[in-house]
Amino acid sequence: MMLVPAIILTIVFQYLPMAGIVIAFQDFKPWLGLTGSKWVGLDNFRFLFKYPDIDQVIWNTFIIAFFKMAAGLVVPFLFAVLLNEVRNIGFKRMTQTLVYLPHFLSWVILGGILLDILAPDGGMVNKLVTALGGKPVFFLGDGDWFRVTIIVSDVWKEFGFGTIVFLASLAGINPALYEAAEVDGATRLRQTIHITFPALMPMAIVLGTLSIGNILNAGFDQVFNLYNPLVYEKGDIIDTFVYRLGILNGKMSFATTVGLFKSVVGTVLIVLSYRLAYKLANYRVF
């Protein structure tokens, strides 16, 4: 009975909308509906792969998503190890709380904050850069800097929450291993390298392989709240591309085609990632 509400929500918001996939094979007109719109078969998919900007959009998505995943795995891993070495419990708990907080803020709020502190004229960061003798940087107006800003701000927002998984793994390490290593004369660094790292690696492998399925999810909320026409070339991703085509330009059939393409590729990657997780770390869902 407790599962019934979740099942109903999943059916209504995840499965019923799948009927709209048919739009990808039609010249969809809202006033004609799904049944009245002209059937065009695979024409939208042929047009997709000939579209002049699609290669750049896919490449942008891949680059941003890949570095987000890589940094989002390494930073929580190292932070959890460092935090585990803190002996002052009060300081440790305060640090954990502070780094968790950004996770609970929406990108609408953080986007506004970043727009202010990264502004080229009067932003806090550029004031510091100027004070150190540098020239102001247009973080959200230069394509290369925009990518860096997107990746760094995403890691800053999420690494504290991601640390929880690794801290849980650290809690499961047998203290006797550290005691035995200390008796043998191992330093804290040696204990970390030979006990802590190996204990965390299976979880890191699982998280890394499972994240492969999200290689085409570069974060619509974040990019949408921070990007602008100046950075479309380097910052436009599949989700924002679909939004502009489908919602702003009214090309619903083409937008659905792009979204379906992304979903199919994502499904294949998810299946492969679960197989890799099972092979490398003996992790399985079913």
pLDDT digits (tens, 9 = 90+) for 150-170: 999 999 998 888 888 888 888
**According to the model, what pLDDT value does residue 228 have?**
86
* Confidence (pLDDT) at 52: 81
User: What are the chain's domains?
Assistant: 25-32+39-281 (1.10.3720.10)
Confidence of residue 230 (pLDDT cuts 50, 70, 90): confident
Contacts of 66 (CB under 8 A, 6+ apart): 215
Task: Please return the burial class of 165, using the count of CB atoms within 10 Å of its CB with bins 0-12, 13-18 and 19+.
Answer: middle
Q: Give which of 151, 132, 122 is closest to 223, Cα–Cα.
A: 151
Whether pTM exceeds 0.85: no
> Using an 8 Å Cβ cutoff, are 271 and 277 in contact?
no
Question: Residues 55-74: pLDDT tens digits?
Answer: 888 899 889 989 998 898 89
Q: Is the pLDDT of residue 7 over 90?
A: yes
Could you give the CA distance from residue 250 to residue 30 in angstroms, rounded to a whole number? 10
Average pLDDT of the residues of the chain: 85
Alpha-carbon distance of 53 to 244, in angstroms, equals 13
User: How big, in percent rounded to 5, are the helix, strand and coil portions of the chain?
Assistant: 75, 0, 20
Residue keyed to tokens 């020239």: 135
